[in-house]
Amino acid sequence: MNKRLIDWPTFIFALVILFSVVIPLTLFPEAGAAVINQANEFITGNFGILYLLLGLGALIFLLYVSFSKNGNIKLGARNTKKEFGTFSWAAMLFSAGIGSSILYWGMIEWAYYYQGPPFGITPESEEAINWAASYGMFHWGPIAWALYTLPALPIAYFYYVRKKPILKISEASRPVIGKYADGPLGTLIDVLFIFGLLGGAGTTLALGTPMIAEGVNHVIGIPVSLGMQAIIMLVCTAIFAASSYSGINRGIKVLSDLNIWLVLFLLAFVFIFGPTLFISEMTFTSLGRIVNNIFTMATWLEPLASIPGYEATNFPETWTIFYWAWWVVYAPFVGLFVARISRGRTIKEMTLGTLIYGTLGCVLFFGILGNYGLYLQLSQSFDVIGFMNEYGASAAIIAILDQLPISWFIIPMFTVLAIIFLATTFDSASYILAAVAQKRLIGGEPLRWHRIFWAFTLMILPMVLMFIGGLETLQTASIVAGFPVIFIMILLAWSFMRASTEDLNKQRDARKSNSITIDNIDR
């Protein structure tokens, strides 16, 4: 155990912030929840525009970079082979960035839009149905994936091109903040990122645990209780801690591959045994609707809401802004992780690969799982909405699955899949948290005990909140915890452009004067 490798200021500061949230929330749960809710409303009500600008800006920026000279830069020396084949790469990327929440929202998001559609449309009308089938895909589509991809650029660049064995957000900001990366500003950046990720993980667990609990209840009949949910959290933690401990080339990779195979089976099953024609047509039509309306959806802030007397839907705050905030808190982590697994690819391959595979994966979930539920509702085979409004979303998800043939097999499989999905996000998250709270890596990996430490730390906040009955407060934890991350994102984009353009210019000058060139520019 090499304690000198730990970045103590970052490590301690992050824990201090975590406990300064956990302790007051434990002592004063109601007042704490009220403060958090007010902060959420304040941020989404006043700064929503920042999130939407960031989302759209990130997509445009990435498309620009991919097709510019900077996009041809190879991550590694000219002859470096890709460290992972494309299947494993895409599987790891998807499994890291997407957790159990896609099973939750993929199945049920349409039901919320159907009852509370955007743009002042009448609830449960035909227009509402069309938007209900499209909006989920949009919230998990190219803009969301652009938020994920943006931080990967500077991080991968410094790690493989400038060959710094450090996986830290502060390190990736160095071209802009210079020597301050080593001082308190650098620590602050890393701590804010860690705090954001803990918030994002809280949102994930607050949604995922009750759903897994409903699945377990359905399979073995144990009623959903606090104790049972706590055991579920602990089992999940044990799984992802073990996977993180065994590292990227073993646990994390094996679990990600397994995850993708299982999920492909589930999706294929629902597609074939569900209403295949309806699913295909609705998915295709929704994609067209999104392409047609992407700017409208990506910029809709319901400005009239600030006019007194206007009956606001709050759709942008509740959905698009909340979603972008949630993607943003995860983004530096996914960026760090994507960077770590992308050795041997070019910036363009990494960027377009993430955008395309990520979006496609999410389209499959929403297209197949979501439209299956929608079909049940519209064909009146099962009243999903009625069931959801009475028993809650988690129970409705399991009830939808119960309509499938051999549901005695599908529901346990779905439950196990949710656990694996959660584990494959949290194993990489604890791996990356350990990397960030370390001064440097040994053999490309953070210390093992350190990974385990963060695995359990990820669980502290949700566990505490669950016992004081605040799991709902945590569902929006991403928003407050993630606000500062918006600025870190901008810093990261700037940093990448500055460093890579500087290096490209140096190379061009070196060519002109026939002196040495940089090794890593592939052409």
Compute the least distance from the CB of residue 140 to ligand NM2, in Å: 7
Compute the least distance from the CB of residue 109 to ligand NM2, in Å: 11
Strand residue runs (E) in 41-179: none
Site size with ligand NM2, rule: CB under 6 A: 10
Please pick, from the candidates 102, 216, 419, 447, the single residue that binds ligand NM2 as defined by CB under 6 A: 102
Compute the least distance from the CB of residue 235 to ligand NM2, in Å: 17
Compute the least distance from the CB of residue 99 to ligand NM2, in Å: 3
Please pick, from the candidates 61, 159, 330, 454, the single residue that binds ligand NM2 as defined by CB under 6 A: 330
Q: Does 196 bind ligand NM2 (CB under 6 A)?
A: no
- Between CA 363 and CA 271 the distance in angstroms is 13
Instruction: Of 379, 399, 376, give the one whose Cα is nearest residue 387.
Output: 399
Looking at the Cβ atoms of 360 and 406, the one nearer to ligand NM2 is 360
- Between CA 394 and CA 272 the distance in angstroms is 24
Q: Does 55 bind ligand NM2 (CB under 6 A)?
A: no
Please pick, from the candidates 99, 117, 175, 316, the single residue that binds ligand NM2 as defined by CB under 6 A: 99
Q: Does 425 bind ligand NM2 (CB under 6 A)?
A: yes
Are 43 and 127 contacting, i.e. CB atoms less than 8 angstroms apart? no
Compute the least distance from the CB of residue 332 to ligand NM2, in Å: 12
Please pick, from the candidates 113, 326, 365, 483, the single residue that binds ligand NM2 as defined by CB under 6 A: 326
Compute the least distance from the CB of residue 421 to ligand NM2, in Å: 7
DSSP letters for 203-237: HHHHHHHHHHHHHHHHHH-PPP-HHHHHHHHHHHH
Compute the least distance from the CB of residue 125 to ligand NM2, in Å: 28
Write the burial class of residue 299 (CB in 10 Å: 0-12 exposed, 13-18 middle, 19+ buried). middle
> How many Cβ atoms are within 10 Å of 16's Cβ, its own excluded?
10
Write the burial class of residue 300 (CB in 10 Å: 0-12 exposed, 13-18 middle, 19+ buried). middle
Per-residue buried b or exposed e for 26-65, using 16+ beta carbons within 10 Å of the residue's own CB: eeebeebbeebeeebeebbeeebebbbebbbbbbebbbeb
Looking at the Cβ atoms of 260 and 521, the one nearer to ligand NM2 is 260
Looking at the Cβ atoms of 40 and 70, the one nearer to ligand NM2 is 40
- Applying CB under 6 A, the span of 94-102, 437-445, 483-491, 499-507 interacting with ligand NM2 comes to 94-102
Q: Tokens in use for 404?
A: 């499938």
Please pick, from the candidates 33, 59, 91, 98, the single residue that binds ligand NM2 as defined by CB under 6 A: 98
Please pick, from the candidates 170, 204, 286, 520, the single residue that binds ligand NM2 as defined by CB under 6 A: 204
- Between CA 499 and CA 173 the distance in angstroms is 10
Amino acid in position 215:
G
- Between CA 140 and CA 192 the distance in angstroms is 24
* Nearest residue (beta carbon) to ligand NM2: 99
- Applying CB under 6 A, the span of 80-88, 97-105, 219-227, 270-278 interacting with ligand NM2 comes to 97-105
| Residue linked to tokens 């606001």 | 312
Please pick, from the candidates 40, 101, 134, 371, the single residue that binds ligand NM2 as defined by CB under 6 A: 101
Looking at the Cβ atoms of 200 and 275, the one nearer to ligand NM2 is 200
Q: Tokens in use for 130?
A: 């069309």
Compute the least distance from the CB of residue 425 to ligand NM2, in Å: 5
Looking at the Cβ atoms of 98 and 290, the one nearer to ligand NM2 is 98
Please pick, from the candidates 13, 319, 327, 414, the single residue that binds ligand NM2 as defined by CB under 6 A: 327
- Applying CB under 6 A, the span of 14-22, 96-104, 337-345, 495-503 interacting with ligand NM2 comes to 96-104
Compute the least distance from the CB of residue 193 to ligand NM2, in Å: 15
Write the burial class of residue 223 (CB in 10 Å: 0-12 exposed, 13-18 middle, 19+ buried). exposed
Are 128 and 313 contacting, i.e. CB atoms less than 8 angstroms apart? no
Q: Which residues bind ligand NM2 (CB under 6 A)?
A: 98-102, 204, 326-327, 330, 425
